[in-house]
Amino acid sequence: MARAPFIRCDAVGKAFGPTRVIDNLSLDIFKGEFVSLLGPSGSGKTTLLTLIAGFERPTEGGIWLDGYRIDDLAPHRRDMGVVFQNYALFPHMTVAENVGFPLRMRRVSKADAQARVLRALEMVELSHLAARHPGQLSGGQQQRVALARALVFEPRVVLMDEPLGALDKRLREQMQLDIRDLHRRLGLTIVFVTHDQSEALTMSDRIAVFNNGRIEQIDTPDTVYDRPTTRFVAEFIGETNLLPGQVTEGGAAGSTVRLSGGTLVRVAQPLEPGRAVSVCLRPERLGIGAQGANALTCRVTDRVYMGDHLRVALDGPMGPIVARLPRSADGVRTGGTLTASFAPDDCWVLAA
């Protein structure tokens, strides 16, 4: 028997005047899941979060929580904690007072509130800063306070809207791991809005990729990255080479695609001959040498040292492509040549 979704968005639409921001969108989120809503600015991900939170009402469709429709329920009655990008802390309150504010609004007894605040601050490792004010904290510490405030009343759902966007790279990456650890330890149901692909890949159980008010694909991070279903997803999630061509031969054992420049490449998918397709090839899937089924001589047009790898621009029978090679790769020089290769299952074929 299929398990019931904890949050259900059914054919949800949202318009602001003549502008449709969400268009006939359906999404199921299960209890204990970490689901990221990923997409460019204006794609509708934050609007969906505000609909789930109750700050806006859908124009069409409905939203359910644990089997109950919540469209008409006020935000404070939905039992959801919300973490914003700008922290939204009260500057005149101490850390402990900020964290305890939701409990005060819910008229929790003073003794119970103190115990819950202490427990929440311990969760985010800030109990030693309980008496400080937000202005005395770093950006990362303020974000932890905002997270503790969202967790202190033990909500059934935690909603996060670009919560790490204002942090520097090192701190953002550490907070990603901290939030992921909290999610696993506490079994939280988290809906997380971000435009950062690496952030979504690092933290999520599933990723919903948004484009123009719709979900183009929702799946596990590895499937979304390795097996994108649309060109938009392939290009938005990480860097990729998209090589146009046509299927010349297909079968259960794989297919042959003739690229636009005339080069034949083997792919693992069974495809119908005559189809126009795009071969999606991630830069890190390209290797040096003739060890793969698809080996092509290319000219190096650019070489950039990236610290942990080399980003190498190539031009050859497949047209311009990018490879991500080990920093120790020998003989890779701008203006030189090399043999780039990949196996049939190193690429993924999309409809053109």
Cα–Cα distance for residue pair 95/108, rounded to 1 Å:
18
Give dist(CA 13, CA 10) in Å, integer.
Answer: 9
281-297 pLDDT, tens digit each: 999 999 998 877 898 88
Q: In CATH terms, is domain 7-235 a member of 3.40.50.300?
A: yes
What pLDDT does residue 163 have? 87
139-151 and 169-186 are packed helices; what angle lies between their axes, rounded to 10 degrees? Answer: 20
CA distance 213 to 224: 18
pLDDT tens for residues 30-73?
A: 999 999 999 999 999 999 999 999 999 999 999 999 999 999 99
Angle at 186 between CA 185 and CA 188, to 5 degrees: 125
Spatial distance between the Cα atoms of 207 and 218, rounded to a whole number of angstroms: 5
Residue at 263: amino acid letter: T
CATH topology of domain 240-351: OB fold (Dihydrolipoamide Acetyltransferase, E2P) (2.40.50)
**Token pair for residue 195?**
């435009």
Distance of CA 308 to the CA centre of its chain: 23
If you count DSSP H runs as helices and E runs as strands, how many of each does the chain have, helices first? 8, 20
**pLDDT band for position 208 (cuts 50, 70, 90):** very high
Angle between helices 95-105 and 139-151 (to 10 degrees): 20
Question: What single-letter amino acid sits at 115?
Answer: A
- Residues 206 and 35 sit within 8 Å (Cβ to Cβ): yes
pLDDT at 175 over 90: no
- Mean pLDDT estimate for the chain: 93
Helix (H/G/I), strand (E/B), else coil: 58: coil
Q: Which residues have CB under 8 Å from 18's CB, separation 6+?
A: none
Tell which phi-psi region holds residue 128, choosing left (phi > 0), alpha (psi between -120 and 50) or beta. alpha
189-221 burial, b at 16+ Cβ within 10 Å, e below that, comes to bbbbbbbbbebbbebbbbbbbbbebebbbbbeb
pLDDT over 90 for what percent of the chain? 76
> In this predicted structure, what is the pLDDT of residue 178?
87
Question: Would you say the C-alpha torsion 194, 199, 201, 203 has a positive or negative sign?
Answer: negative
Q: pLDDT tens across 93-146, in order?
A: 999 999 999 998 888 999 999 999 999 999 888 999 999 999 999 888 998 899
Nearest to 121 by CA among 84, 85, 94: 94
pLDDT at 149: 92
| pLDDT one-digit tens code per residue, 256-277 | 999 988 899 999 999 999 999 9
Domain spans of the chain?
7-235, 240-351
Q: How many CB atoms lie within 10 A of CB 37?
A: 29
Neighbours of 301 (CB within 10 A): 14
Q: What is the DSSP string of 94-157?
A: -HHHHHHHHHHHTT--HHHHHHHHHHHHHHTT-GGGTTS-GGGS-HHHHHHHHHHHHHTT--SE
